[in-house]
Amino acid sequence: MSSENGSAPMGSGTAVKTAEAVLEVHDIHTYYGSIHALKGISLEVRAGEIVTLLGANGAGKTTTLRSINGLNRPRSGSIKFEGRDITQTPAHEIVRRGIAQSPEGRRLFPRMTVVENLEMGAFQRNDKAGIKEDMERVFGLFPRLAERKTQNAGTMSGGEQQMCAIGRALMARPKLLLLDEPSLGLAPIFVEKIFEIVKTINDEGVAILLVEQNALMALDHADRGYVLETGRIVLSDSAEALKTNEQVRKTYLGES
């Protein structure tokens, strides 16, 4: 591969896609101790877009998300959200500004009910009417959760837990939603449903940065994509172009 470095609250109506950058990541270097995990990552997410990150395990996809959400601060480089530098901003303040994440593995509170898990997504908010409205919106997106309001999250199926994790992130009323492996371990019927809902969320004005093991599914729903290898972006293009790229097809789409 050739080397290349490179909105509204939930339920507010269909977004018009523009070229305005919501997220700008420039030349970030992130470490785990002495391990140089990200080696100059640059990317952007524009208003109304779904952007996907592709790469093998260990390529740096999750670390990129953790650098954006404040859990792993880069040693150098910059991250801007809506034009404001958030590189050194604490994670809780990043959520307050409008970035929320549904993490890999879902990370629910298993002994808490569905409603209690969703309420945790709104823990920084004090607008009771808005929280109630968004709770109902989540139940509209995920009718299965409405049926299981009082059920402990840990007793639900993997697909239902994934719905709850995405719903919890939406309760923060994000302008940018980070999704880390939303289809991991799910049955195909749940994968299709999750991606239908991801598209609906995006159509309602939420930009999405998506890490997804199912590369074809990700590219089918994304506007653009970046390919990571060992902490570097080696390719970026439109999703349609990436689907026809020979190396992407061989490496990530399972074609010989």
The answer, yes or no, to whether residue 32 has pLDDT greater than 80, is: yes
Query: Is 104 a member of any domain?
Result: no
Give the integer Cα–Cα distance in Å for 27 and 25.
7
Query: Is 253 a member of any domain?
Result: yes
**Can you say whether the dihedral through the CA atoms of 121, 54, 32, 86 is positive or negative?**
negative
CATH number of 50's domain: 3.40.50.300
Look at residue 189 in the predicted model and tell me its pLDDT: 83
> In this structure, are 141 and 86 located in the same domain?
no
Query: Is 232 a member of any domain?
Result: yes
88-145 residue pLDDT tens: 999 999 999 999 999 876 789 889 999 999 999 998 888 999 999 999 999 999 999 9
Helix orientation angle between 158-170 and 114-121, rounded to the nearest 10 degrees: 30
What is the span of the domain harbouring residue 190? Answer: 1-8+19-98+174-256
Q: pLDDT: is 80 or 103 the higher one?
A: 80
Of 141, 173, 205, the position where a domain reaches its end is 173
> In this structure, are 33 and 141 located in the same domain?
no
> In this structure, are 122 and 247 located in the same domain?
no
Of 173, 196, 218, the position where a domain reaches its end is 173
Query: Is 105 a member of any domain?
Result: no
Look at residue 19 in the predicted model and tell me its pLDDT: 61
Say if CB 195 and CB 183 are below 8 A apart. Answer: yes
Say if CB 186 and CB 106 are below 8 A apart. Answer: no
Query: Is 61 a member of any domain?
Result: yes
> In this structure, are 240 and 179 located in the same domain?
yes
Q: How confident is the model at residue 17 (pLDDT cuts 50, 70, 90)?
A: very low
191-239 residue pLDDT tens: 888 899 999 999 999 999 999 988 999 999 999 999 999 999 999 999 9
Give the count of domains, the chain. 2
> In this structure, are 180 and 254 located in the same domain?
yes
> In this structure, are 31 and 89 located in the same domain?
yes
Cβ-in-10-Å burial (0-12, 13-18, 19+) of 220 comes to middle
Query: Is 34 a member of any domain?
Result: yes
> In this structure, are 44 and 165 located in the same domain?
no
What's the pTM value of the predicted model, to 2 decimals?
0.87
